[in-house]
Amino acid sequence: MAAPLLLVTNDDGVRSEGIRALADGLEGLGRVVVIAPDREQSATSHSITLDRPVRVNHLSEGWLSVEGTPTDCVLLAANSLLGEKPALVVSGINHGPNLGDDVTYSGTVAAAMEGHLLDIPSIAVSLSTGSSPLHFATAARFARRIAAKLLDEGSPNGALLNVNIPNLAEEAIRGIRITRLGKRLYVDSVIEKTDPRGKPYFWIGGSPSWESGKNTDHAAVLEGFVSVTPLHLDLTDYKAVVEMENWTL
Ligand code: MN
């Protein structure tokens, strides 16, 4: 049997350190093809390019850059560039965590969501950065382990996997935990200042804080564990559907 085709993409851009580490880490597990945005596309969420043509550039053997979003990359790869559906989509390794509610902003997770929507087992991998040195190679070894498992077993209940890895040396990582998304608390997340012309401006960011919760992705990474959260995209609130059956609209 031919080696499985592994599509690697990200949102930090094709030249980022994380995607190189990921492609290296997956080598030998299958045929690795990298198709990623030509520039940083972090926090672009699940956006898709519809209003202009999308150009693709061949950089080297198995490496292509796309003038578009992470979602564009997966869509083009699966429907055209690869000539076949990949066995796996692996997105990352993102420079910075994608935890809890932040998955809705993440381009890294969105690429895996696109794979998931195309019925391809998909993984998003993020390194919880913050201090030097950055342990991308260690993160890549965990990504490989999880990717190998997914190739063997298929997606658990069809879920996509959101993986966050603490920025630690391999021997300092305490294990892997299956988690749920944590809840982010939006405190001081907008900074208001005045520009040199006296006009106010706003900067969205600030430092996040998190609700402490059992089995959350945030808690796992904080305690030195690799966090693996299975996600699905049926956003329907089924309890609300039941509750609303009594509404008279
Ligand atoms: Mn990013």
241: three-class secondary structure by DSSP: helix
- The Cβ of residue 207 has, within 10 Å, a number of other Cβ atoms equal to 7
* Tokens representing residue 121 in the block: 């087992």
- Region 54-58 average pLDDT: 98
The angle subtended at Cα 115 by Cα 34 and Cα 69, nearest 5°, is 60
pLDDT score for 143: 98
Helices and strands (H, E) in the chain, number of each type: 6, 13
**Distance (Å) from CA 234 to ligand 1 centroid:** 24
Write the DSSP assignment of 159-203 as a string of letters. Answer: -EEEEEEESS-GGG--EEEE-B---EE-SS-EEEEE-TTS-EEEE
Tell me which residues have their CB within 5 A of the ion that is ligand 1.
11-12, 42, 94
pTM: 0.95
> Which backbone phi and psi does 192 adopt, to 5 degrees?
-110, 130
Confidence grade of residue 113 (pLDDT, cut at 50, 70, 90): very high
**Distance (Å) from CA 241 to ligand 1 centroid:** 35
**Which residues, in sequence order, are bridge partners of residue 56?**
66
pLDDT tens-place string over residues 89-110: 999 999 999 999 999 999 999 9
**Distance (Å) from CA 202 to ligand 1 centroid:** 22
**Distance (Å) from CA 217 to ligand 1 centroid:** 18
What is the residue whose two structure tokens read 């299975």? 230
pLDDT tens-place string over residues 179-219: 999 998 877 688 899 999 999 999 887 677 888 788 999 99
The secondary element (H helix, E strand) that includes residue 13 is none
Question: How far is residue 249's CA from residue 246's CA, in Å, rounded to a whole number?
Answer: 9
pLDDT score for 188: 66
For residue 135, give the amino acid letter. Answer: H
**Distance (Å) from CA 70 to ligand 1 centroid:** 10
Write down the mean pLDDT value for the chain. Answer: 95
